[in-house]
Chains A and B, each alone.
Chain A
Amino acid sequence: MNKFFITLRTQIKLSFRGMDMIIFAICMPVVMVVLLGIIYGVKPAYDGATYSFLEQSFGAISTIAICAGGVMGLPLVISDYRQKKILKRFQVTPSSPTLLLAAQVAIYMIYSIIALVLVYLVSALFFGVNLQGSLLPFLGSFLLVMLSMFSIGMLVGGLSPNMKTASILASVLYFPMLIFSGATLPYEVMPTSLQKIADVLPLTQGIKLLKATSLGLPVENVLFPLIIMVIIAIICGGISIRFFKWE
């Protein structure tokens, strides 16, 4: 797997030089957790809640990087590489363009995991967050949400005819999800009507799943979002594998 790691190393360097993901996937969630920490402190989520508002928001904030990488980073880099014929160049080598795609997926996974760790450290060290849920179901959900969001990004990047379309679609998906799915603006402070609209966004469901698993809420809360995440991953992933445009 040597060629994978060399490719990954180069692509990571390029991504760091680009700076966008450092800002949108690493800094932004940390800033968000600090802001919510300052605003809400250790206040309970609601009167009589066993967990604080910030603990409730933890699952949501941890998806900011997934959203940035999956829905913005991935489609842009794929359509960029296609437009520059980089994917095509890989077709006349003993390797294949999937190597490059795999490296890109790995990079955005790395960003998401770094963001998750940082958000956890900041919220635990500075704002006393102590999550009641168990680790494995949470990490499993985190992986599933990642898979699901990345498959949306693959679909957009893989099928957009050019960079311009990809970037419009990415913006249309990214900004509403970032703002209205609860990743930044907490779902709980939204009026009920807005919540109903937010529920349509796939990331909202992903966040519900992460909230439930991070807080250790009963299993019946997670079934619907769990199914939605799996369906999105299968449909978007399937379509993008079947119809991916290499050039």
Chain B
Amino acid sequence: MQSIIQVSGLRKSYGNLHIIDGIDLSVLKGEVFGLLGANGAGKSTTIECILGTRKADEGNISILGMSPQKERKKLFEQVGVQFQETSYPDKIRVDELCQETGCLYKNPANYKELLRQFGLAEKEKSFVSELSGGQKQRLFIILALIPNPQVVFLDELTTGLDTKARRSVWKSLKELKEKGLTIFLTSHFMDEVEELCDRIGIIKDGQFIFCGTVSEAIVESPYEKLEEAYLWFTGEEVADNE
């Protein structure tokens, strides 16, 4: 299988603080990889280093065989990114934001098609700020898909969504996965991770304390549910009992 994202020996520190202390990972084509960890564990920094918006101190990173810093322009024709703090100007309409995103790429997807696919067709002329949380989140996934990417990065996919909205986002992503899209996501919700991810990596203090499939994670722990296994790995279960 072809490796889409390849990271080895990634290190990043600010002063004496080691934010990331040797991370290796590889995501295969068509795989959904979930990066898990508590806030402050180094998830965001890991993603930023992989994307090249932050410079790693050490390590090799390649996406689709390209360096995100040296071949940025070529690489990001094929990579879609959805940011955690989603960023759009005030008073922009849905179609304008889609057009503005689309014009940056050589072969953008038809955004109207994507809006239809994600159930936002009737919101085309609405202001982004007037969309509900779930609609916004779906729009930001659409923006990440506009490049017609081979791989997408989705940061905290469904934070702030209600159950129904989360399910509809999951459904759409599964469809995309079936079409061969590689997905790298972060999430705080274990039900979501179980539903979507082929493999997960749990990060703590800048290192992987587990990397493998969801069922492997459960087997390795003394528990039967991913959520408990996750807390066991991260050592947060004790705090819960207090």
Say whether B6 faces chain A, with CB atoms less than 8 Å apart.
no
Q: Nearest chain A CB to B73's CB is how many angstroms away?
A: 5
For B85, list chain A residues within 8 Å (CB).
Answer: 84-85
For A95, list chain B residues within 8 Å (CB).
Answer: 73, 104
Bound together, the chains give a CA A89 to CA B144 distance in angstroms of 11
Say whether A180 faces chain B, with CB atoms less than 8 Å apart.
no
Given that A89-B83, A92-B53, A92-B76 are contacting pairs, would A14 and B92 also be in contact in the complex, using a CB cutoff of 8 Å? yes
Q: Which of B95-103, B131-139, B200-208 contacts A (4 or more CB under 8 A)?
A: B95-103
Say whether B179 faces chain A, with CB atoms less than 8 Å apart.
no
Q: Evaluate contact between B105 and A93: CB separation under 8 angstroms.
A: yes
For A90, list chain B residues within 8 Å (CB).
Answer: 104
Q: Evaluate contact between A92 and B100: CB separation under 8 angstroms.
A: no
Say whether A242 faces chain B, with CB atoms less than 8 Å apart.
no
Q: Evaluate contact between A92 and B91: CB separation under 8 angstroms.
A: no
Say whether B89 faces chain A, with CB atoms less than 8 Å apart.
yes
For B90, list chain A residues within 8 Å (CB).
Answer: 14, 18
Question: A86 touches which one: B88, B104, B105 (CB < 8 A)?
Answer: B88
Bound together, the chains give a CA A89 to CA B97 distance in angstroms of 12
Question: B103 touches which one: A3, A13, A91 (CB < 8 A)?
Answer: A3
For B101, list chain A residues within 8 Å (CB).
Answer: 93
* Closest residue of B by beta carbon distance from A18: B91
Interface band, chain B: 20 to 34
Q: Nearest chain A CB to B229's CB is how many angstroms away?
A: 32
Q: Evaluate contact between A94 and B103: CB separation under 8 angstroms.
A: no
Question: B89 touches which one: A3, A14, A91, A247 (CB < 8 A)?
Answer: A14
Given that A10-B100, A92-B81, A94-B104 are contacting pairs, would A86 and B76 also be in contact in the complex, using a CB cutoff of 8 Å? no
Say whether A17 faces chain B, with CB atoms less than 8 Å apart.
yes
Interface band, chain A: 20 to 34
Question: B92 touches which one: A6, A10, A91, A247 (CB < 8 A)?
Answer: A10
Q: Nearest chain B CB to A136's CB is how many angstroms away?
A: 35
Give a binary string over B19-36; 1 marks a CB under 8 Å from any A CB, 0 the rest: 000000000000000000
Q: Evaluate contact between A6 and B53: CB separation under 8 angstroms.
A: no
Say whether B51 faces chain A, with CB atoms less than 8 Å apart.
yes
Question: B87 touches which one: A3, A7, A18, A84 (CB < 8 A)?
Answer: A84
Say whether B79 faces chain A, with CB atoms less than 8 Å apart.
yes
* Closest residue of A by beta carbon distance from B73: A94
Given that A10-B100, A14-B89, A17-B91 are contacting pairs, would A94 and B53 also be in contact in the complex, using a CB cutoff of 8 Å? no
> CB within 8 Å of A: which of B133-170?
147
Q: Nearest chain B CB to A92's CB is how many angstroms away?
A: 4
Bound together, the chains give a CA A17 to CA B90 distance in angstroms of 9
For A7, list chain B residues within 8 Å (CB).
Answer: 100, 103
Say whether B70 faces chain A, with CB atoms less than 8 Å apart.
no
Bound together, the chains give a CA A99 to CA B101 distance in angstroms of 12
Question: A3 touches which one: B53, B73, B76, B104 (CB < 8 A)?
Answer: B104
Chain A positions within 8 Å of B, measured between CB atoms, are 2-3, 6-7, 10, 13-14, 17-18, 80-81, 84-86, 88-95, 99, 247
Can you report 19 A-B residue pairs in the complex whose CB atoms are below 8 A from each other? A3-B104, A6-B103, A7-B100, A14-B92, A14-B96, A17-B91, A18-B91, A84-B85, A85-B85, A86-B87, A88-B53, A88-B83, A88-B87, A91-B72, A92-B51, A93-B147, A94-B72, A94-B106, A95-B104
The 3 closest A-B pairs by CB, nearest first: A6-B103, A85-B87, A3-B103
